Chain A
Amino acid sequence: MSDYNFAYLDEQTKRMIRRAILKGLAIPGYQVPFASREMPMPYGWGTGGVQVSAAVMTPDDRFKVIDQGADDTTNAVSIRSFFERTAGVATTTKTSEASVIQTRHRIPEEPLREGQILVYQVPIPEPLRFLEPRESETRKMHSLEEYGLMHVKLYEDISRHGHIATSYDYPVKVEGRYVMDPSPIPKFDNPKLGDMAAIQLFGAGREQRIYALPPYTQVVSLDFEDHPFEASKPDHPCALCGAENSYLDEVITDDAGGRMFVCSDTDFCEARQAAGHTGTMNGKDAA
């Protein structure tokens, strides 16, 4: 016996995780406890996402991993090669070709379609955690729908900064019921959570929680009447592909204050460049 079981986890574990996923899908936004396993990577590197991916993956799937939107960063490369070795599934970097996409901190720019599954890596699934440290109390607040405290956080933001300064991990309300932590995606991505055609699954390995959004779920970002939610991004076009409406990373280019803004979604940016779009700092033009 030298082979791994398909997709690393044993079948009983996958069964347990699938039950948690189904329960999560049946109650959108509700955190389902599950018996998270030790994975061959440290907590915080996506152990929850990897377990969820392993449980939903079939041999016919095509797998994509992004980390902050990029396909070529350490976390993405190592998780992709992990599943290449243990599941032998095909992998891709193209959003449209993938059937299962594991993501850390971004939603792909390209709209997802029915049949795709988006798996989020979640560090802290409890949106009320830093306001109310007692788990027994936060569970009670969820079950009784007592969410006034969530607005206290936003109130504190406005009183300190003059506007809602929370720019990632922005709390949302699902189907008018559960307040949910969308994982640390930028709030620019929040509007994409709602009404999405793909299935969205959230796995928190250390905290042992799974939650889910079935396709076409209503998701509303919390706000105040006089300080409405705003999906913000840097006010620049992408320096490589010229996109005006994608989320951008700021990249320091020298020690003299030089900087550029580029799409954080590398697949989206490369596809646009291949289609002939170009930005102000694209080397091909400057040369």
Chain B
Amino acid sequence: MTPLLSVQGVTKFYGHHIGCKNVGFDLYPGEVMGIVGESGSGKSTLLNCMAGHLTPDAGAVVFNTRSDGPRDTVTMSEPERRMLSRTDWAFVHQHARDGLRMGVSAGGNVGERLMAVGDRHYGDIRGKAADWLGRVEIDAGRIDDRPTTFSGGMQQRLQIARNLVTGPRLVFMDEPTGGLDVSVQARLLDLLRGLVRDMGLSAIIVTHDLAVVRLLADRLMVMKDGHVVEAGLTDQVLDDPQHAYSQLLVSSVLQV
């Protein structure tokens, strides 16, 4: 079986500082990968390198494209990479404001990706937008409201709808539940878990919240100072951490 995404020796330096160094893993279709670590451990750098927002200094990010099979996205041309990022890829930002157009209605936000890939039928676009608002539990009556009038949780769900409307195969998530209160987090996680399972999505989730990866991720990578210190099945890593830092991380979770 060909991996959907194969990350090989990705390295990124910020001057003399290490962003992330020599990271490699394979992600298979339908698999959810969690990346955890403390602030500054390089997990967001790694995610941005994989999603094409940053150019790694070394290494390859090979994506199994629909048309041409495995291709290295680091060396492919920019138009091709941008095409991937609005069709087969999705990127959910930590702050919904970074991923939404705040001056455009909810329907327009969801429809943008459809129009970007050439949809030119207003009725169809609106129908799909309404359908997706329903799937992320936003009332269809809010379709013409701007995201500025939405709560934080609704904005985050709208961002997810906007990203998933073109049926991507790989979703990058950067702290998708950051900044939300716990009950809203729980609903969002529930929703994400359902969508990931129903659509057979592959996902890479960066977070510092171990509960999120416990719930969503099949496999887990623990990062520290730009290096991967431990990787394995989520339950295995969380229940029986081997590396000193992983043990510290797991034992640092507050028990209520």
Contact = CB atoms under 8 A, between A and B. Distances in A.
Interface stretch (B23-31, B110-118, B152-160, B224-232): B110-118
Interface in A113-138: 131
Secondary structure class of chain A's binding surface, majority of residues: helix
A224 B122 contact: yes
B104 interface: yes
A159 interface: yes
Contact of B122 (A131, A148, A158): A158
Given A144-B79, A144-B82, A159-B143, A152 B122 contact: no
Contacts of A146: 82, 116
Contact of A224 (B104, B116, B121): B121
Size band of the A side of the interface?
10 to 19
Main secondary structure, interface of B, reads helix
Contact of B112 (A144, A148, A226): A148
A26 interface: no
Interface string A209-232: 000000000000000111100000
B107 A151 contact: no
A160 B144 contact: yes
Given A226-B122, A227-B122, A148 B117 contact: yes
Contacts of A144: 78-79, 82
Contacts of B105: 156, 159-160
Nearest to B146: A156
A148 B108 contact: no
Given A225-B120, A226-B122, A227-B122, A155 B115 contact: yes
A215 B101 CA distance: 38
A41 interface: no
B107 A159 contact: yes
B122 A149 contact: no
Interface string B177-200: 000000000000000000000000
Contact-size category for B: 20 to 34
B125 interface: yes
Contacts of B118: 148
Contacts of A226: 121-123
Given A159-B107, A159-B108, A152 B101 contact: yes
Contact of A159 (B79, B113, B115, B144): B144
Contacts of A227: 122
Interface in B45-82: 78-79, 82
A128 to B, nearest CB: 12
B112 A159 contact: no
A158 B104 CA distance: 13
Contacts of A152: 101, 104, 108, 111-112, 115
* Interchain residue pairs A-B with the least CB separation, the first 7: A148-B116, A151-B115, A148-B115, A224-B122, A225-B121, A144-B79, A152-B108
Interface of B: 78-79, 82, 86, 101, 104-105, 107-108, 111-113, 115-118, 120-123, 125-126, 143-144
